[in-house]
Chain A
Amino acid sequence: MLEFIFLFLIVAAGTGGELCVSHAMKTLGEVHDFSPSALLEFVWRAARVGWMWIGIAFMTLAFFSLLAMLSMENVSFVVPVTALSYAAGAIGATLFLREKIGTQRWLGVLVVCIGVTLVWLSRR
């Protein structure tokens, strides 16, 4: 039961956090200058976006849930099962970020999920 709770937290909080961070990044615009000072300035600008901190809070929750699950199960089991976030991510990106996902990319996401399921089944 605990594994399911932690898995839910990893997937839901992790995906939610990444969507928030992605939303924050899109408001900052594309990075062209990769010099240390420009990157530092970019991090400073990112730290002033509210969505960034909400995303970090969600991702922190997901991180400690991951640690808890890693203390119970092997890495080769934990990492594949967390790929449930692929489906959640694609749906979330469509709904919240308004990304236009074409048929080919949906197919790719589906194939990735099938592969992840096979990896998960290989545990037994």
Chain B
Amino acid sequence: MKDSPGLHLKTYIFLLFIVLFAPLGNVLLGKGMKSIGSARDWEPQELLNILVRIFTSGYIWLGIACLLAFFVAYMLVLTWADYSYVQPASAFSYLVVAVLGLWLLGEKVNLLRWTGIAVICLGVFIVGHTHPRTTEKT
């Protein structure tokens, strides 16, 4: 199996885009949905109102823009790297989510959560030392 030049470097650059845009998108969506609120009765009229508020929320659109950027980076990296390699490697998103939650939303991150994040990073490190592609090119 032959690699294209700089396969690992190219993969790491795209993983960086993935771990930045996905958490930022989720934090923005979370902020938007918290201001909109959840459905109480789940009636069609209520759901329609929520849907209208979702699509007129600036935070939601910013979140969608970030997730689209993430999605494009994700699609591109999947053209050469395995899904089972990319998905665990994107676990660094949890570190970024915790940091953004701390900075932007004022969420409290306790010791157990930081420990969990450290364990996730260890898992990512282990995954990162396997070859990005295990199947033959098509």
Contact = CB atoms under 8 A, between A and B. Distances in A.
Interface of A: 18-19, 21-22, 25-32, 46, 63, 66-68, 70-72, 74-76, 78-80, 83, 85-86, 89-90, 93-94, 97-102, 104-105, 107-122
Q: Which of B78, B83, B120 has the most CB of A within 10 A?
A: B83
25 contacts: A18-B87, A21-B78, A67-B29, A68-B39, A71-B36, A71-B37, A74-B107, A75-B107, A78-B30, A79-B94, A83-B91, A90-B84, A93-B84, A97-B135, A100-B134, A101-B134, A105-B127, A109-B88, A110-B123, A111-B126, A112-B127, A115-B116, A115-B121, A118-B113, A122-B116
Q: Top 6 A-B pairs ranked by shortest CB distance?
A: A118-B116, A115-B119, A112-B123, A111-B123, A108-B127, A115-B120
Q: Is the interface of A mostly helix, strand, loop or mixed?
A: helix
Contact of A97 (B54, B83, B98): B83
A86 B29 contact: no
A13 B128 CA distance: 26
Nearest to A113: B123
A34 to B, nearest CB: 8
Given A25-B78, A30-B80, 14 more contacts: A26-B135, A31-B76, A67-B33, A72-B38, A74-B101, A75-B101, A76-B98, A80-B116, A97-B135, A99-B135, A100-B134, A111-B126, A117-B116, A118-B115
A42 to B, nearest CB: 8
Given A67-B33, A112-B120, A18 B113 contact: no
Contacts of B83: 18-19, 22, 89, 93, 97, 99
A83 B26 CA distance: 14
Contacts of B134: 99-102
A70 B97 contact: no
B84 A99 contact: yes
A9 B75 CA distance: 21
A111 B129 CA distance: 14
Given A75-B97, A75-B105, A89 B84 contact: yes
Nearest to B60: A67
